[in-house]
Structure 1
Amino acid sequence: MQSFAQPRMDAKRSQALWQTMLETIHEQKLDAPATARLLLKVPALVTLGGLGLYAAWFAADSAQTIIACLALAFILAQFAFLGHDAGHGALGYSRRIHTALGQLCMTVATGLAFQEWYGRHRTHHQFCQYEPKDPDMDVDLVVSLTEDSRRRKRGLGRFLTRCQGISVWFLSLLFAQSQRHLSQWGVLLNLRAYALDAAVLLIHFGLWWGLPLALGVDPLRVLIVYTLPLFFLGPYLAAIFWVNHVGMPLIERVDSFSFLEHQAVTSRTVTNPRALDWFFGGLNFQIEHHLYPQIPSFRLRQVQTIVRPSLEAERIPYQAVSFAQAVRDIAAHFRFIAKGTNP
């Protein structure tokens, strides 16, 4: 269950293949800015988000509040997907446009500080599945993603790992909350580096707390509306992001791999009907995303038609499975790491 990838392709040949695929992508204009789509999607999400907040703040009863918060969770996910694309520079020509979009969609809407988050996310791309440096693998207390992590644990950490085959699914309720708080805490610890994040977070708190309190909304209702959508969002985001890399081969030495092979063998693409691409934000095509992060995520299905046959022709492993199979694979991995034996 726990394996380490080994390089199969020399660097020059790998770079040539990556460049050839990029040229095809460019010929098909798959790397073109997504300006027209943004002009439709951003105002629509802002409108839906405003209506969702109003409905949640002024709902007549608890059932309506819960329904409104559930709707807000899906709206916030779409904001986060746009913020993610903005971080990778996939939505326009200007870095300023990407920064503005990222701050709006990520920091203002979700409370996840855009610049602080993207710094960690960029490192994840660079060191994907390399345990010493991949920040997405730095979850040693609550779960263990590798055998080395399990062996290092003592006390509470060891107990939690033994239970992770079951507990991880309940912990998914906290996934979005933990990402928000981790990001905000990162800003507080380094205000000089993340001054813009800190300033925009004030707008976030003004929107989610100051505005409803000024409108006379009960403080308890304000607290519920701020926290409940993220409890819904946690399992949703976990279902999308955990399947991307959990259980995939680890990397022992980053410098022994070409960029193309490193990104391809450490990622998992999840196949699904085209109609569900919006649900995953297009990030179910994770191999394609890691190879070409500058491509707008809604075009990654088209990029797959270029990438998959090219990799398979070179006998580079291409992991593409159904969502159900991906969930079974990561569940088996969590159990294996918990017990140290095959399930």
Structure 2
Amino acid sequence: MKSLSPTGELQHSEPSVPVPDYAELKKRVKRAGLLARQPRYYMWSMILTIGATLASFLILFLVHNIWWQLINAVFLAVVFAQVGYLGHDAGHRQPFSTTWKNELAGLICGNLLLGMSNAWWVDKHNQHHSHPNQLDMDPDLNIPGICFNLQEARQKQGLGRWVMLHQIWLFFPMLMLVALDLKRASILFLSSEWKSARYPLLESLLVLAHWVLFLTLLVYNLGFGAAILFFLVNQAVLGFILGSAFAPNHKGMPVLAKESQLGFLQRQVLTSRNIKAGPLTDFWYGGLNYQIEHHLFPSMPRNNLRAAQQIVKQFCQEHAIPYAETSVAGSYCAIVKALSEVSSEVRYERAEA
């Protein structure tokens, strides 16, 4: 198996052990019935989530205290995060066996409820799944202002360089911009590459409907100033939740060279990190805390991932494949350490020059 250096760079050496058979692992998982669709689970999840969204909108009409409305903004951000996770699962065809039902769920969750293009997200996310943490291949490595790769950090100039040198302090505040950045990128996609979407007109109309209805609802019930405050709090909390769910999965894990020839199973496991399971983490991460299992079986319904974890763990132990699992705090310590190492190395090189 190819080895990875302490800095996370791939060592190009011939495999020293046989490559494990992914088909064997999949056979074990399939035998356990964990790849079967779970429409009832997802229907109830969607009903409860949409119900919570409507409850938050009802509070906008009934409550006229700004402080309670700011609490409502936080509540709605938590609900919107769950909407996003359902849209993510629909993009992977987890809920239903029928394609159009998954696409409809994605359009409702992504475009209408979040104001983000479902087609853009699915395309970007599929690229990530095909080449996780692989240079020039994984779009999720291109984080504005944040650098986990030393080669990229050395090329930063001006404001970007200053942000990179102070990224361990800026990382958590910048998570609050994640939701707005996702929506910005998806709107740019619809305005410039909308014909590459399967339903370009429908996607555009649903995103437009989200922004018109959501902002009108806020201004009508809260007034202009309070509406802006509500929106900023809501989007900042939503960004932090989504960012805190995305970042631990791969950040601080090995970064593979573009020409890496690692097999599918090794590539998915070695570049992914799990967060220890529990009711709170399962809810907060929307099942993404089982990142290794999710990457190995993207179409596996979320509620089957915990059972699959035991099978995958045992398989990795049998084949001596490192399986990364840590606590929430441990994942952030690893992320901060990786960011610090990159910034410190660039500072050292500049001092030596």
TM-score by length of 2: 0.89
Residue in structure 2 matched with residue 187 of structure 1 by the alignment: 190
2-side partners of 1:18 and 1:268: how far apart? 19
Write the letter of the residue equivalent to 1:330: I
The residue matched to 2:195 in structure 1 has which SS? Answer: coil
The residue matched to 2:147 in structure 1 has which SS? Answer: coil
Number of paired residues?
339
List per-residue Cα deviations over 1:201-243 (Å, max 9, x = no partner).
1221243134556x66524444444442121112222221111
Residue in structure 2 matched with residue 32 of structure 1 by the alignment: 36
List per-residue Cα deviations over 1:129-153 (Å, max 9, x = no partner).
11212111112x4121210111111
Indicate whether 1:72 and 2:76 are aligned: yes
**1:88–1:293: 8 Å Cα contact kept in structure 2?**
yes
**1:57–1:65: 8 Å Cα contact kept in structure 2?**
no
Which of 49, 52, 56 is the matching residue for 1:52?
A: 56
Write the letter of the residue equivalent to 2:203: D
The residue matched to 1:243 in structure 2 has which SS? Answer: helix
User: What is the CA-CA distance between 1:266 and the residue it aligns to?
Assistant: 0.6
2-side partners of 1:9 and 1:300: how far apart? 29
User: What is the CA-CA distance between 1:283 and the residue it aligns to?
Assistant: 0.6
Residue in structure 2 matched with residue 259 of structure 1 by the alignment: 264
Residue in structure 1 matched with residue 273 of structure 2 by the alignment: 268
The residue matched to 2:287 in structure 1 has which SS? Answer: coil
List per-residue Cα deviations over 1:41-71 (Å, max 9, x = no partner).
2122112101102313553122111110111
Query: Which consecutive residues of structure 2, in runs of 5 or more, have no partner in the other structure?
Result: 1-5, 349-353
Indicate whether 1:85 and 2:75 are aligned: no
Indicate whether 1:151 and 2:154 are aligned: yes
**1:272–1:323: 8 Å Cα contact kept in structure 2?**
no
Query: Which consecutive residues of structure 1, in runs of 5 or more, have no partner in the other structure?
Result: none
**2:146–2:164: 8 Å Cα contact kept in structure 1?**
yes
**1:131–1:250: 8 Å Cα contact kept in structure 2?**
yes
1-side partners of 2:86 and 2:249: how far apart? 18
The residue matched to 2:23 in structure 1 has which SS? Answer: helix
User: What is the CA-CA distance between 1:334 and the residue it aligns to?
Assistant: 1.1
**1:277–1:298: 8 Å Cα contact kept in structure 2?**
no
Residue in structure 1 matched with residue 173 of structure 2 by the alignment: 170
Residue in structure 2 matched with residue 200 of structure 1 by the alignment: 206
Residue in structure 2 matched with residue 329 of structure 1 by the alignment: 334
User: What is the CA-CA distance between 1:27 and the residue it aligns to?
Assistant: 2.0
1-side partners of 2:250 and 2:23: how far apart? 24
Write the letter of the residue equivalent to 1:30: L
User: What is the CA-CA distance between 1:254 and the residue it aligns to?
Assistant: 4.9
Residue in structure 1 matched with residue 316 of structure 2 by the alignment: 311
List per-residue Cα deviations over 1:83-136 (Å, max 9, x = no partner).
001111111111111110011112211112111111111111111111212111
Indicate whether 1:61 and 2:27 are aligned: no
Indicate whether 1:277 and 2:282 are aligned: yes
CA 1:68–1:23 in structure 2 vs 1: closer, same or farther (change >3 Å)? same
**1:250–1:266: 8 Å Cα contact kept in structure 2?**
yes
The residue matched to 1:256 in structure 2 has which SS? Answer: coil
**2:133–2:255: 8 Å Cα contact kept in structure 1?**
yes
**2:266–2:321: 8 Å Cα contact kept in structure 1?**
yes
2-side partners of 1:51 and 1:221: how far apart? 19
CA 1:253–1:206 in structure 2 vs 1: closer, same or farther (change >3 Å)? closer
**2:29–2:35: 8 Å Cα contact kept in structure 1?**
yes
Which of 214, 239, 250 is the matching residue for 2:255?
A: 250
Write the letter of the residue equivalent to 1:233: L
**1:57–1:212: 8 Å Cα contact kept in structure 2?**
no
The residue matched to 1:249 in structure 2 has which SS? Answer: coil
2-side partners of 1:58 and 1:148: how far apart? 54
2-side partners of 1:42 and 1:271: how far apart? 25
Write the letter of the residue equivalent to 1:133: M
Indicate whether 1:229 and 2:234 are aligned: yes
1-side partners of 2:175 and 2:298: how far apart? 26
User: What is the CA-CA distance between 1:313 and the residue it aligns to?
Assistant: 1.0
**2:60–2:221: 8 Å Cα contact kept in structure 1?**
no
Residue in structure 2 matched with residue 289 of structure 1 by the alignment: 294
2-side partners of 1:10 and 1:224: how far apart? 58
**1:2–1:146: 8 Å Cα contact kept in structure 2?**
no
2-side partners of 1:288 and 1:269: how far apart? 9
Residue in structure 2 matched with residue 21 of structure 1 by the alignment: 25
**2:249–2:291: 8 Å Cα contact kept in structure 1?**
yes
2-side partners of 1:274 and 1:315: how far apart? 29
* Range with bigger deviation, 49-58 or 31-40: 49-58
